Chain A
Amino acid sequence: MLTKLKRRAGQLALAAALSLGLTSTASAIELTMYYPVAVGGALTKIVDGLVADFEKENPDIKVNAIYAGNYNDARIKALAALKSGEPAQTSVMFSIDIYELIEQGAIVAFDDVVKSDEDKAWLDKFYPALMENGKTQGKTWGIPFQRSTIVMYYNKDAFRAAGLDPEQPPATWEELVSMGKKLTKKSGGNVDQWGVMIPSTGYPYWMFGALAMQNGQTLMNGDGNQTYFDAPATVEALQYWKDLGEKHGVMPSGTIEWGTLRQNFLEGKTAIMWHSTGNLTTVKNNAKFDFGVAMLPAMKRRGTPTGGGNFYIFEKSTDEEKAAALKLIKFLTQPERTAEWSIKTGYLGTRPDAYETDALKAYVKEFPPAAVARDQLEFATAELSTYQTGRVRKLLDDAIQAALTGSKSPADALGDAQKQADRLLKRYR
C-alpha cells in the first residue's frame, strides 16, 4: 500500500515536472512594455494591433503592453514597478527623461545591447534631429517612436478674408507680426479674431525652444549640464513672444491655455496657432474651414524642438529579455510599420526610408500637410532636457509665464532662472 502510494507520488511529481518544463519552453520570454497614452482611445488600438502582429511573427515572445496615462504617469509607473521588483523590460517614455533615467540607473544604452553589424547599422537609420534627445555620453539610450514637432496651423479662409495670399503663410518674425495685424479683427473694444496664438501653459518651455532656436540659440548643451537661459538671444526671443501680445496686439496678452487652444482655432478665434503635429488628424477631422500647415517662421533661421516619446530598454532584465526587447523595437520601427503608424496617428515617420514607402508617399501626396513636419526636421533641435530635468524645466516655465504676465521683465525672469539652474546643475559638471 505504502509503496503504491510512493510510486503514485513519484509519478505525479514527474508529471508535474514535465508539464512545468514544457510550459517554460512554450512561453519562452515574456516582455512587459509600459506605454503612455497622451491622446487616448484610438492609439491603444493601433499599438495593440502592432503588438499582435509582432507576436504572430515571434511566437516565442509574449508582450504585455501596459497603458499608463500621460508621459509623467508612464514614467512614475514604470520606475515604481522597477523599484518594487516587478518585471518591465521596455517602455516608451518622454524623450527628455533620458538624464533622469540614466541617473536612476534604470536604462541601458542600445550600444550595449546591439550585437550584429546589421543592428548597429539600424541605429543610424533615424533622422539625426530625432536622435539628439536619445544620445548623451557618446551613446544611444533612446530610439525615436512617438515623435512630433511644433508646426503652424493657419486658417486659409481668414487669410483670404484679410486680403492675404493663403499659400504664403508668414515665413519670418516680421511677417508674423505684419500679417498678424491684418488678421486681428476687432469690433469695438473686443477682438473677434486674433492674429496668432502660441500656447504658454502646459509646455511653455517647448514653444519657447522654437523661438530661441529661430533666434539662433539652443537652450542647453548636449551633456545636459548647462543651460543658456540668460543668453542675449534667449532674452530677445522671450521679448518677441511678449511683444506679440503687448506691443503688437496680435495675440492675447497673459498666458494662453494649451488645452483649449485647438478649440479656439477650430472656432475661428485665432487665425494662426502654433501646436504639436500630434493635433494634425484631429484638426483635419474637425476644421469647418480651409486650413493649412506650415513650418514655423524664422528670425535668424527656422527652428523647432522635437517632442514626444522614445523607446528605452531597462537595465533590470536578462540578456535574453533585452535581446527580445530589441527585436520588438526593431519590429515596430521598420519603415513600413513606421509609415502605417505615422498615417494613423499623425506622428512623424521617424526615419527617411519610411517616407519612401508607397503607403506614406501616397498619403503625403493626398494630404501635403503631413510632409511639413518632416521637412522641418532639417531645422529641428533637441527638446529641453538636462539633469534634474523636472526642476530645470519648471524654472524656465515659471520664467516664461512671469514675463508673459508682466510680473518680471524677460531679462530678469530668465536671469533668475539661469542662476537657479546653475545651482542645480553644478554638481553634474
Chain B
Amino acid sequence: MPAAIFLIAFTYYPAVATLAKSFFSQGTALKPSEFVGFENFEYMLGDDVFWKVAWNNIMYAVGTIPISIALAILMAVWVNGKLPLRSLTRMAYFTPTILPMIAVANIWLFFYTPDIGLLDQVSAVFGLPSHNWLGDPDTVLGCIIAITIWKEAGFFMIFYLAALQTLPLELEEAARLEGASRWYYFRRVMFPLLMPTTLFVLINAVINSFKLVDHLFILTKGGPDNASSLLLYYIYEVAFSFLDQAYASTLTVVLLLALALIAVGQFYFLDKRVHYR
C-alpha cells in the first residue's frame, strides 16, 4: 500500500498530468492557459528542430547500442578467462561507469578541443591537421556517441560477466572434445545462452540512448545548430529555457510513447528468440 502511494505520487500522477498539460496552451500571468486540443502536436509536426533532434536520437541509438553491446561481450569474455591481474582489469573496464557523466564530459571536452586537445596533440605527432571535433556538424554526433560507448560498455560488461559465470563448464569442454572452434562455440552455444542477458541489456541500452544527455550540457549544448541535440535535451531546453511547459509536455508524451512502443516491440519480437533455461 505505501508503495502504491509513492508510485502514484511520483510516477502515475506526473505522467497523467504531463499528458493533460500537452493539450493546453502555455499560461502566463497575462494570458491563462486554455484547452487547445492537438495544437501543440501540430506545432511539433511543423517544428524543424524536433525532427532534427528525433533523427539525431535515432542515429545516436544506432551508433551506441550495437557497438557498446559487442564491446561489452568481448570484454566480458576476456576478463572471464584466466589472465594476470584479472580483478584489476575488470575494475579498469568498469571505472567509466562509476564516474559521474558531468565530470567525464569536462575531461572529454579537453580531449576534443582543437589544437590543445589530446586528440589533436596525438594526431599532430603523425602530422595530421588539427580538427575542430565538436565545432563541426559532421563529427560532433560521432564524438558524443564515442563518449557514450566508452561510458556504457563497462556497465553492460558486468551483466555479461555475471551471465558467463553461470554457464556450465561442461558445455565448453564438450564443444572442445567435438573439435568445435572457439568462434563456433561462441556463435552456437555461448551467445544463445546469453540471450536473456542480451535482451535485458538491449532494453537498458535503448532507454539510455534516450535518457543519457548529461554530457551535452557540458560539451555542446546541442550545438552547433542542433547537430548534437537529442530529444531529452530539447525537452529540457523547451521546459526550462523557453519556459514552455505545454510544449515540453507534448514532447515528453511523444518520447514516452516511443519508448513504450520500442519496449513492447522488443519483448514481443525478441521473446520468441530468447532461450530461458
- Residues in A lying within 8 Å of B, measured CB to CB: 72, 76, 100, 103-106, 188-191, 200-202, 252-257, 259-260, 263-264, 267, 269, 388, 390-391, 394, 397-399, 401-402, 404-405, 407
Known: A104-B29, A263-B113, A267-B116. A257 touches B135 (CB 8 A): yes
8 Å CB interface, B1-33 against A = 28-30
Task: Give Cα A264 to B113, complex, Å.
Answer: 9
The yes or no answer to B241 lying at the interface (CB within 8 A) is yes
Residues of B within 8 A of A201 (CB): 134-135, 220-221, 223-224
Residues of A within 8 A of B135 (CB): 200-201, 252, 254-257, 405
Residues of A within 8 A of B136 (CB): 254, 405
Residues of B within 8 A of A394 (CB): 237, 241-242
The yes or no answer to B110 lying at the interface (CB within 8 A) is yes
Q: Is A269 a contact partner of B115 (Cβ separation < 8 A)?
A: yes
Q: Size band of the B side of the interface? A: 20 to 34
Task: Give Cα A345 to B134, complex, Å.
Answer: 31
| Interface 9-mer from B34-42, B122-130, B161-169 | B122-130
Residues of B within 8 A of A402 (CB): 224-225
The yes or no answer to B56 lying at the interface (CB within 8 A) is no
The yes or no answer to B132 lying at the interface (CB within 8 A) is yes
The yes or no answer to B51 lying at the interface (CB within 8 A) is no
- Select from chain A the residue with minimum beta-carbon distance to B49: A398
- Residues in B lying within 8 Å of A, measured CB to CB: 28-30, 49, 109-110, 113-117, 124, 127, 129-130, 132, 134-137, 218, 220-221, 223-227, 237, 240-244
Known: A103-B30, A257-B109, A390-B241. A252 touches B129 (CB 8 A): no
Complex A-B, nearest 9 residue pairs according to Cβ-Cβ distance, in ascending order: A105-B29, A254-B135, A401-B224, A255-B135, A390-B241, A390-B242, A401-B225, A254-B132, A402-B225
Residues of B within 8 A of A252 (CB): 114-115, 132, 135
| 21 pairs, CB–CB < 8 Å, chain A vs chain B | A76-B240, A104-B28, A104-B29, A189-B127, A191-B130, A200-B224, A201-B134, A201-B135, A201-B223, A253-B132, A254-B136, A255-B224, A259-B109, A259-B218, A390-B241, A394-B242, A398-B226, A399-B225, A401-B224, A405-B135, A405-B136
Known: A190-B130, A269-B115, A269-B116. A100 touches B243 (CB 8 A): yes
Give the one of B116, B130, B221, B243 with max A CB within 10 A.
Answer: B243
Task: Give Cα A254 to B223, complex, Å.
Answer: 11
Give the one of B113, B218, B225, B237 with max A CB within 10 A.
Answer: B225
- Select from chain B the residue with minimum beta-carbon distance to A427: B31
Q: Is A190 a contact partner of B129 (Cβ separation < 8 A)?
A: yes
Q: Is A407 a contact partner of B225 (Cβ separation < 8 A)?
A: yes
In angstroms, how far is the closest chain B Cβ from the Cβ of A340? 32
In angstroms, how far is the closest chain A Cβ from the Cβ of B115? 5
Give the one of B49, B218, B227 with max A CB within 10 A.
Answer: B227
Task: Give Cα A269 to B130, complex, Å.
Answer: 12
Task: Give Cα A407 to B227, complex, Å.
Answer: 11
Q: Is A390 a contact partner of B243 (Cβ separation < 8 A)?
A: yes
Partner of B30, one of A105, A191, A264, A390: A105
Task: Give Cα A371 to B127, complex, Å.
Answer: 44
Q: Is B225 a contact partner of A405 (Cβ separation < 8 A)?
A: yes
In angstroms, how far is the closest chain B Cβ from the Cβ of A274? 16
In angstroms, how far is the closest chain A Cβ from the Cβ of B173? 55
Task: Give Cα A247 to B126, complex, Å.
Answer: 27
Q: Is B30 a contact partner of A260 (Cβ separation < 8 A)?
A: no
Q: Is B225 a contact partner of A257 (Cβ separation < 8 A)?
A: no
In angstroms, how far is the closest chain A Cβ from the Cβ of B132? 4
Task: Give Cα A264 to B109, complex, Å.
Answer: 13
Residues of A within 8 A of B241 (CB): 72, 390, 394
In angstroms, how far is the closest chain A Cβ from the Cβ of B181? 47
Partner of A264, one of B116, B127, B226: B116
Q: Is A388 a contact partner of B225 (Cβ separation < 8 A)?
A: no
Task: Give Cα A269 to B110, complex, Å.
Answer: 14
Task: Give Cα A269 to B113, complex, Å.
Answer: 11
- Select from chain A the residue with minimum beta-carbon distance to B241: A390
Q: Is A263 a contact partner of B116 (Cβ separation < 8 A)?
A: yes
Q: Is B129 a contact partner of A189 (Cβ separation < 8 A)?
A: yes
Give the one of B29, B220, B244 with max A CB within 10 A.
Answer: B29
User: Given A201-B134, A394-B237, list of 16 further CB < 8 A pairs?
Assistant: A100-B243, A105-B28, A200-B224, A201-B221, A202-B221, A252-B132, A252-B135, A255-B223, A267-B116, A269-B116, A391-B244, A394-B242, A397-B223, A398-B226, A405-B225, A407-B225
Residues of A within 8 A of B132 (CB): 252-256
- Select from chain A the residue with minimum beta-carbon distance to B30: A103
Q: Is B243 a contact partner of A260 (Cβ separation < 8 A)?
A: no
Residues of B within 8 A of A388 (CB): 242
Residues of B within 8 A of A407 (CB): 137, 225
Residues of A within 8 A of B237 (CB): 390, 394
